[in-house]
Structures are given as structure tokens and as C-alpha cells.
Structure 1
Amino acid sequence: MDTSSLIGGRYRRRGEPTSGAMGDVWIAEDTKLDRIVAMKFLAHRRLMQQGAPTDFAESTARMFQREARAMARINSSRVAHLYDSDEHEGDVYIVMEYVEGESLAEHLRTGPKLPLERTVRWTRQICEGLGAAHDVKVIHRDIKPGNIMITRKGDVKLVDFGLAYLAGITQTHTVAGTPLYKAPERWHGDTGSERSDLYSVGCVLFEMLTGHPPFGSPHDDPMTVGRMHQDDMPASPSDHRPGIPAQFDSLVRILLAKDPADRPKNAHAAERAVIELSHLLDATDGTAERSEVPDTPGSSTSLSQHIEALDLRIFELEILHDRGDQPLIEARTEHAELTGQSGDTRGAAALYDRLARDCQEFFGPYDVRTLDAFEGLARWNGAARAS
């Protein structure tokens, strides 16, 4: 094979590129491995020919190199893979996995309102991809619908790590990012953190649920949008879309907390919270198969409301705490007790059974918390048999 016309001796570009201010993206054929790839060229010479300031052109080159280094660190099916990086006739390029599909932005712009199941599935996969990036100290810093690709199989791939921050590597800080999805602390010049990425996930989740971001619109002045992120409290998604379960509102509220310390501690914690949402949808779909709570004199509207509020509180605590932390154990114990007092003795026994198993795993079989949970299990099991 004559490789003289091939880029890097193996890549053959196809069709026309998609061009942007900072580079061109081509679909190409990797003749060595017989696969289709995406090739991204830095438009460094074009920027200089157009009179771009030297510092801007150099900053763009650093972003391009940072993207390659960031993507090379990550190994996840939820992140587009980096295959190669080199130079061709003075132009730097990177070779990436070609993602056949369309962006989440296109789905939101052209499709019907997303069903809750798909919203939950895609949010979980976004968190999964971010978790893999954060595990190797890569902060994306530009999570938005346009940088979330949806494959033909309906799965998420995160792309465009051009603004990524690599912990442990000296680099110029930047406040760049997309205003509609940028965390409050980044408007103050903060470099960004894992929890800054999670704030952006909250903005994306809000948009998937309602059809628009929590603050502003693409037509608004960026500084006005920035002040909203810093000062305003977002509405609940259910205010815009009636029927959304309260747990969705709760997760969005926690992800969009102004103080990063009030958000989930990492992407894995956020992913677990989203998995709980999927369980909630499964339970809702299977309502007819669930056992009914006995209608007894012990039941009351106020008690039911207390149980519902406590259930939501446990959901929030599971996002913010490890399962063995005392506030969560106390809330679960109270939830089990109130469930039994409402007349649902079997439900109380089931809650205590799960709590006892967790405590045994966390603290051992002879810890007082484990023994108390097994005592509650025996007590409500006895009440269930007596009824």
C-alpha cells in the first residue's frame, strides 16, 4: 500500500470536515486497523493567519494538548477513547473514537420531552463517565448537552476535554466554560473540582427533565446568567413538569447546591443516587405487584406524611453520607419504626432486615447497632405473625 498520501502513514480523511474556531474534525479511515476514527486538527496556522493574538493561539494549542493528555488517562466505555496524537505538515492532530450518533443537545432540541427512564439512564451514564475521569484526576469543566454524545445504541459518550483540568500538572487556570452550565464557584475564578462537574450534571439533568436549563437561556448575557448561578435558587423540576417524583427534585437541588461541600462528594455517589431513582421508577411501574399497607387504626394522614418526608430525607442522606454513617442509620431506624406504627408490620420488618444486614457488614455481628437492628427485625416479625 502506498502510504505517502496517508496522514501518519495510516489515516485517510473522508468527505469534508466540521470546522470550528479552534480546529477541524474529520471522519477518517485507519487503514492499519481497518476502522473509522475521528481526527481533530488544531487550527493553529489558521488562527495566526487570521490575525489572532499570539497568546490566544498559544493558549489554544495548550488546550489541544491538554485534551489529548486528559483523554489518554481515561479508560471508560462512557468516554470517547483517544487512539493517537501526532503532527502532520506542521499541524497537530489527535485521533479519537468515532461516535456514531448525535449530541444530547440535538436530542433536546429536536426530539420530544425525554421520558424519565431515559433521563435516569443517561444521567447515570454521565456520572459513570465522570467517575472514571475523576478517578484519574481529570476534571472535565465543560459538561453540557453539546459535549454528551448519544450513540446509535442509545448510550452516553462524553467528549471534548479541551477545557479539562489535570490535577497534579502545572497549567494556566481558566475561567472558560459554557455559562448555562458553569458552577457558581467557577464564576469567581475557581479552577474547578469534581463537584463543579457535578453542578454541571445538575444543570443537564434539570434540562432533560424540563426542556430548559435552570438559569437563563442561550440568548441572555453571560454575566447575567453568571449572577443567577451565584445568587438565585432554581425552581423544582416538578414546578415545570407535574408528576415528577419528589426524589428527582431532591437530587437536582443537591447537585445545584451553591456551596460545593453540599453537593455529592464525588461522581460515584451521584451515580448511586441516580440508580436509586431507577429503582423508584421500577417500583412505580410495578405498583400492582407491591403488598398493600394494612388499613389499621394505627394509620393516620400525619404519620403517612411523616414517613414520606423521612423517606425523602433518607434519599438525600444516602447521597451525602456513606451507608455506615450514624445520621443515615438513625434515619433508617426511625423510618422502620414509623412504618411499623402505621400498621405495615411486614414493611417494618423488611426495612429492619436490610438495615441489620448493612450494619453487620459495616460494624460486625456484635456491634450494638447491628444487635438493635436485629431486635427490631424480630419484634416486627412477631407483630406481623400475630396479625
Structure 2
Amino acid sequence: MTDKNDERGQPHRFVGPGNRYELLRHHDSGGMGDVWEAYDRNLDRSVAIKFLALARLAGVHPGGEREAKMRELFIRESLTMAQVSTPYVATIFDRHTGDGDPFLVMEYIEGDSLAAYVGQTPLRLERTVHWSRQIAEGLAAAHDKGVVHRDIKPGNILITADQGDVRIIDFGLARFADSTESYSGAGTPLYTSPERCRFDSGDERSDLYSLGCVMYEMVTGWPPFGDRKSESAALAHAHQFKQPTRPSAQASGVPRPLDDLIMKLLAKKPDDRPRNARVVIQTIREVERAPEVVDGSPQSPVGRETPHVNTGYVNRIRETERRVRRLTFEHGGTHDDVVAARAELAELTGISGDARGAAELYDRLGHDCGVWFGRQDRRSLDAFEGMTRWIEGRGMH
């Protein structure tokens, strides 16, 4: 390893019994420790390794009995975390608790965190509903095993590059951090439940509150309280005492059932939130609408007042997004094929139930075409006509 890697506290290129894991690339550093991409030489696969910085976490009493107790806690927590089995939670393959910092060996996931998708502008509704249900599915599977995350936030939700599905990471590590002297137990302030702000341990309904914060940000573009520059104390006060503005008041086109669900998740008292994650899943499914497609064509238009989101279009929308990027790379943004693909993406977005998203995509396309070809060009006029259709709720041609 290079000296730079040595400075991160991991001087060996190979770790684990028999030097099973080869460290390849440092991914991230945080208060808990470091994350590496690694190669499992026994099973010929990529894995992610998360080292826990014991000396740092032990606070003012490092070494000796303190670190020994933390190792014991790590063993118990890792056993519990490994029991969670669902496509929406990163799988734990192995652990190491011998000499040096203990570490977890987990599924390596290609993709970005949800944090790369949220912020300032709303996500399309079909994507919001699809990912929200998958997060709730992951939480339900973990809660069934008695595992509470305690730090649900966009940074702990990965989106796979291949299928665009959710993988929740770092289950159980917040509880481990709670037991250390260097952590307050409050989690990430923007997404922390009122009870966790009071340093209570919380239960599965604390995770549901945090899910509500994440869903609020997906729908509106902003967390329910503050932003990333806000002081932790101010955020804690808001979570405990301030009522959030309804998402539908912040962004147009939010289906009422989704609006109501987010507000219920953000209830100050745990007893006023949904009973468990499975109730959340059922509510989200009521927001979804099964696709009605014959020969690849939708059978009925979806206007702006329709209170459902058709997640059956998720894959078609992702494929169209990829096609837009590929064509743009091959031909440049002004090519007619790119313009046509962008119009198709806007139309699919509207058909999925997101009239607002369709109008925004058409509006952006219209402005681009106006710059490239002139505002009276057919391509500009067609795009603005599409925008008007979805604003007025007239949907498809």
C-alpha cells in the first residue's frame, strides 16, 4: 500500500485470515471508520470492507477493557445484521474481529447513493414511489429480525447502477456507535426522529420517521426542516416541536395518498406514525397503479389530477434516459434523434402519473430547442405544446 493509505490507519494490502481480502480502493472515511473496495481471493468476487476505528470510537478510554467490550458488541451486532435477508439491504458476507480494527465484509454495490439524486429539485414521482417502497421493504425485513437502522438517510441508501434498485447499507452500526463515548446517538440531524433527538434509543418507528424525511426530500427537493448548513441544535428543535409544511404545498402534482403518508410518517409521537413498515408498503402500493399496456402502448391517459403513480414505467423510463445519454454522446444534443428521445422521455414521465415532471421535461426541451433552432421552429413549438398539455391535465395526444 502507499503511504497515503497507511495514513488512513490500514497499512496492509491484504487483510483477514490467510490474507483472504485484497484492498483495492479507498472509498470513504467517516466517524465510524473507513470503507474499501476489496477482492475476495477465495470466492473471486468484489466486496466492500468497512473497518471500524476502535481507538477513535472508544473516546477517552481507548484500549484494554473498553475496546474488548466494543469488540463483543460488534460480534453480537454483526450476527444480528447478517440475519437480514432481502434484495433491498446490502448482504453481509463475513466479519473479522481479530487483531487490529474489526471489519465487516459486505456486498459490493456499483452505483451512487440516493444523496446524488436528491437536493433542490423533486424526483419524478414514479422514481420516488418505486424507491420508497423498496426502502420500506428493506426496513420491514430488518425490523422482522429485530434490527433497527437508526440512521436512515440518502447517504445510506445506494441505488444500483444496473437495475436502479435500492440497497440500504450500515444496518446496526448506529446502535454500535450509540454505545461509544464519542457519539451522541442522535444520528444524522436532517433525518433524525424527535425521540432520537432526545437521545432515546428509538425503535422501528424511528426508522419510519427518517424514511418520511427522505421521502419528503424526494418529493419536494428539500428535507422537511433546514438544509445541510443548518445547525444541529436548530434541526433537533424543529424535529421535536415544529410542524412540517405539507409536501403538496411545496411541490405540485403530489398524489394526496402520498402526501398523507409522508405527513403521517413525520408525526412527532411514534404512536401516531404507521404501526410498522409493512403498513407503509401497503399504503405505497395503493398509490401505485398497475400498468395497462398493450403492444408497448399505454391504454389510457393519466391527467394531472389522477392520484396514482404507475411504477410499471420505471424500466422504460430508465432505458429511455440511457438512450438519451447515448445518442447525445454519439450525435450531440441538437440531433433530431436526441430531441425525439427527450420528448419520448417527457411523455413516458407524464403517462406514469407525473404530469409535473412531464411538463418540466418538455419545458426544458422547448427552451433548448429555442436556443438551437429558434422559438418558432417546429421542434420548439412541439415541446411547448407538450408542456401545455400536461400542465392542463390533457395528457397524451
Amino acid at match of 1:54: H
Matches within 5 A, 1:64-83: 64-65=74-75, 67-83=77-93
Residue number in structure 2 paired with 1:149? 158
| 8 A Cα contact 2:23 2:36, kept in partner | yes
Q: 2:147 aligns with which of 123, 135, 138?
A: 138
| Correspondence for 1:279 | 289
| Higher alpha-carbon deviation: 203-212 or 18-27 | 18-27
How many residue pairs match? The answer is: 282
- Structure 1 residues without counterparts, runs of 5 or longer: 291-307, 313-387
Structure 1 residues 260 and 16 mapped into 2: Cα distance closer, same or farther (>3 Å)? closer
Separation in 1 of the partners of 2:302 and 2:106? Answer: 47
Match of 1:252 in 2: 262
Question: Match of 1:37, SS?
Answer: strand
Rounded to whole Å, the distance in 2 between the matches of 1:185 and 1:5 is 42
1:287-366 to structure 2, matched below 5 A, reads 287-288=300-301
Give the residue type in structure 2 aligned to 1:117. Answer: E
Amino acid at match of 1:204: V
Q: In 2, Cα distance between the equivalents of 1:218 and 1:55?
A: 32
Distance in 1, matches of 2:184 and 2:80, equals 16
Please give the TM-score of this superposition, normalised by the length of structure 1: 0.65
Q: Which residue of 2 aligns with 1:161?
A: 171
Root-mean-square deviation over aligned CA pairs: 3.4
Note if 1:102 corresponds to 2:112. yes
Q: Which moved more, 1:76-85 or 1:57-66?
A: 57-66
Q: Which residue of 2 aligns with 1:261?
A: 271
Alignment TM-score, normalising by the size of structure 2: 0.63
Q: Which amino acid aligns with 1:200?
A: S
Change in CA separation of 1:289 and 1:124 when aligned onto 2, cut-off 3 Å: closer
- Report the alpha carbon displacement of residue 89 of structure 1 after superposing the two structures with TM: 4.2
| Matching residue within 198, 207, 216 for 2:208 | 198
What is aligned with 1:35? 45
Answer with 1 or 2: which has the greater Rg: 1
| Residue in structure 2 matched with residue 121 of structure 1 by the alignment | 130
Instruction: Write the distance in 2 (CA, Å) between the matches of 1:88 and 1:55.
Output: 17
Q: 1:272 to 1:80 in 2, by over 3 A?
A: same
Cross-structure match for 2:253:
243
Q: Distance in 1 between matches of 2:70 and 2:50?
A: 13
- 8 Å CA contact 2:209–2:265 kept in 1: the answer is yes
Deviation at 1:190, TM superposition (A): 2.1
Question: 2:292 & 2:208 partners in 1: Cα distance?
Answer: 25
Separation in 1 of the partners of 2:200 and 2:301? 50
Higher RCO by CA contacts (8 Å cutoff, separation 6 or greater): 2
Q: Which moved more, 1:36-45 or 1:53-62?
A: 53-62
Q: Identify the residue that residue 60 of structure 2 maps to in structure 1.
A: 53
User: Residue 139 of structure 1 aligns to which amino acid in structure 2?
Assistant: V
Q: Distance in 1 between matches of 2:191 and 2:96?
A: 32
User: 2:235: which partner in 1?
Assistant: 225
Query: Is the CA contact (8 Å cut-off) linking 2:52 and 2:101 kept in structure 1?
Result: yes
The answer to whether the 8 A contact 2:24-2:39 is kept is: yes
